[in-house]
Chain A
Amino acid sequence: MDAVAALPVALPLLVAAALVGLAPVCPRRAADAAAVATAAVVTVLCLVLLARSLDGPVVYWFGGWTPRDGIALGVAFAVDPVGAALATLAGVLATAALTFSWRIFEAVRTLHQGLMLVFLAGIVGFCLSGDLFNMFVFYELFSVAAYALTGYRTTNPGSVRGALNFAITNSVGAILVLGGIALLYGRTGALNLAQLGQALARGPADRLVVVAFLLLMVGFFVKAAVVPFHFWLADAYALAPTVVGVLFAGVVSELGLYAVARVYWTVFSAPLAGVEGLRGVLLLGAVATALVGGVMCLLQHHLARMLAYATVSHVGLTLAGFALLVPVGAAGAVLYLLADGLVKGSLFIAVGIVDHHLHDVDERRLQGRGRHMPWAAALMVAGALGLAGVPPFGTFLGKALMEEAALEAGAPWLIGLFVVVAALTSAALLRATGRVFLGLGPPGPRDLPAPGPGRAGDHHRRAHPTQLAPAVVLLAAAVAVGLAPGIIDAAQDAAEHFTDRPAYAAAVLEGVPEPGPAAAHPATPLGGPALWAVVSALLGLGLAFVALRPDRLPERLRGGATRLWDPVAAVLRGLHDGGIGDSVTWLVVGMATFGTLVAVVVR
């Protein structure tokens, strides 16, 4: 076993400690360079791991504690292509984010770089780990780093409440995860994912298994911002400085879904295999998340909150892919998640550029002020198209696979969901772009509150290359995911290994190499999905146009639309206006609902 698996975690942690310890004597540029370089090295290491894991999981036992008689004594990293791909995504986003922040000066900067590296290390460790408690530790690591990074700009009352809401709701989620781990440990005496799977496979899906699954699922759904566990997300996005927001938007929510999928397939897939209604319960959550997120996205005027709800709705779509519980769906979900993460990271950087130069992120106050920033506008438009899932972006391929899985599973209505939700989120973004960069749209109300204090920046009117380049690179990477030769087959192979519990357990516990792909996969039809993608994009453009030029709409249509839209908007806005208490209450409501449904379908 060579240490490539451990280095992507050890290196950023070491550099972070060094940066903090040397902060008083380290020149600022050196610290910046060290941070960017470390993130880049982590990315490369994860790519190496990805390449190596294509033939079978890379299993690394820390401390040399290899398992005895199927009992794992130590902690293992079990790196498979899905985990390695997510870790690489995190590395790419972190490198881009740290490059972007090169020109932004803040006090206590070096401490921030240290926290960012710890954040990255936590995410990478979480993706690579093969031990449930180890996953929990890394989960808490990147969560705590995130709370620390977001709490910084708390100069208005809403920000403090937002930061507290973020931290408290996510901590409750972590408590639930730990409860699930305790239950599983009580039953099986194991913490290693493969060993847990083997132990549970010998028994039925009784009440303990159901509740353990529920706790783990709900706990990770909080991080993933699945409805109704999502009320903390918009505040966190609005508060986070761009460098943190890029990682939030690009990978953090997706990690929650990855965790549920990983835990399901390696631990619970044996006892829960025959459960008919499980797919339905998960799809219910997916649909609710996708629709609520999409509508809320349209209702936002704050650019970062808009991205937050775009994340929520796309999490819903990704969950739909996983919820089908078949390899093709998982393959599509993973591809979608990767490309979508890159696109959203790029969009967050674009928002950061706007914030930095125009000192505001409210699309109504910014109306027309972005006319001199053509590059930022181009980024936003490209990002909107990426969100809509238009070829050649990788999101298109992901959706194509998910749609194929939906058809196989007998749920063709999912295609409609994909089309509608992608249209909603891209419409919001296109509308915002039109308003900010082209000055289109009805003038906003005059009594808008002034932007919060503390939004300082330099007064350059042009976006600097270190700010634009990372965003362009991220978008290019999203296109590369879509165009890479053989990626569909690779994704399907990876998904088949991801969903194959016995092979995984044999590879991790006994070192048995995984068998190669069973047969060549039939070619995925791309014509149908391409058509749907175009429909999505056109729908999005249409909605954006309607929002910007409502006067062009005939009188009757406008009246009817307003009568339908306004009450829905009012209800949703009211629900989302609460604080910590509301967020936690909805969490418990979600736990009760999902719990009852899962208990009912398993019986």
Chain B
Amino acid sequence: MRFLPYAVAAWLLLVGLYGIVTSRNLVHTITCLSVAQSSTYILLLSVGFERGGTAPIFLDVPVGTKAVDPVVGALTLTDIVVGATVSALLLALAVQAHKHHGTLDPEQLKPERD
């Protein structure tokens, strides 16, 4: 239990990257990127966790109660927003791919290069 969350984070990253590398559908690729990004959320939150700590919101509990790290919460929030927006942008590109070239398969999007 002491190491499991970190191992999960590493696993998510590798699985996400595997999905991107072997993908045959752009939406699948983009979702796998999200999975890889979620590894950082898990890692950040695990690093800031304190056993027995409550949420760092002191409305109902007095200041000084053991609470988890608020900073990683803020960092993860930023990270999630960044991840969501990048996914949106990539999905718009995928829509373009399908609209202009009729396919969502990255293997089939070959360039007309020399």
Contact = CB atoms under 8 A, between A and B. Distances in A.
Query: Is there a contact between chains A and B in the complex with CB atoms less than 8 Å apart?
Result: yes
Interface of A: 133, 137, 140, 144, 147-148, 151, 154-164, 167-168, 171-172, 174-175, 178-179, 181-183, 185-186, 191, 301-302, 362, 448-449, 452, 577, 579-581, 584-585, 588
B17 A155 contact: no
A158 B30 CA distance: 18
Contact of B44 (A137, A147, A151, A182): A182
B19 to A, nearest CB: 10
Nearest to A158: B111
A172 B33 contact: yes
B15 interface: no
Interface of B: 13, 17, 20-23, 26, 29-30, 33, 36-37, 39-40, 43-44, 47-48, 71-72, 75, 78-79, 82, 85-86, 89-90, 92-94, 96-97, 100-101, 106-114
Contacts of A585: 21
Contacts of B86: 144, 147, 167, 171
B39 A179 contact: yes
Given A167-B89, A182-B40, A172 B29 contact: no
A118 to B, nearest CB: 12
A151 B92 contact: yes
Given A133-B78, A144-B82, 5 more contacts: A147-B86, A164-B93, A168-B33, A579-B106, A581-B20
Contacts of A156: 111-112
B114 to A, nearest CB: 6
Contact of B114 (A137, A151, A362, A580): A362
A449 B40 contact: no
Nearest to B23: A581
A154 B40 contact: no
Given A151-B92, A151-B93, A172-B17, A160 B37 contact: no
A427 to B, nearest CB: 19
B113 to A, nearest CB: 6
A502 B29 CA distance: 45
Contacts of A302: 113-114
A154 B93 contact: yes
Contact of B40 (A151, A159, A175): A175
Given A157-B101, A157-B109, A164-B93, A175 B20 contact: no
29 contacts: A137-B82, A144-B82, A151-B89, A151-B93, A154-B96, A154-B100, A157-B108, A157-B112, A158-B111, A160-B96, A160-B100, A160-B101, A160-B109, A163-B93, A164-B93, A167-B89, A167-B93, A168-B30, A171-B86, A172-B17, A175-B40, A178-B79, A179-B43, A182-B43, A302-B114, A448-B114, A581-B21, A581-B22, A585-B21
A151 B88 CA distance: 13
A157 B107 CA distance: 11
Contacts of A155: 100
B89 A148 contact: yes
A179 B101 contact: no
B106 A161 contact: yes
A179 B16 CA distance: 14
Nearest to A137: B78
B20 A168 contact: yes
Contacts of B23: 580-581
B13 A179 contact: yes
B44 A581 contact: no
Contact of A584 (B17, B30, B93, B94): B17
* Residue among B71, B112, B114 with most chain A CB within 10 A: B114
B26 A164 contact: yes
5 cross-chain pairs, A with B, having the tightest CB-CB distances, nearest first: A158-B111, A186-B47, A161-B109, A160-B97, A157-B109
A301 B86 CA distance: 32
A137 B92 CA distance: 22
Contacts of B111: 156-159, 161-162
Contacts of A185: 44, 47-48, 71-72, 75
A366 to B, nearest CB: 13
B23 to A, nearest CB: 7
A182 B47 contact: yes
A580 B33 CA distance: 12
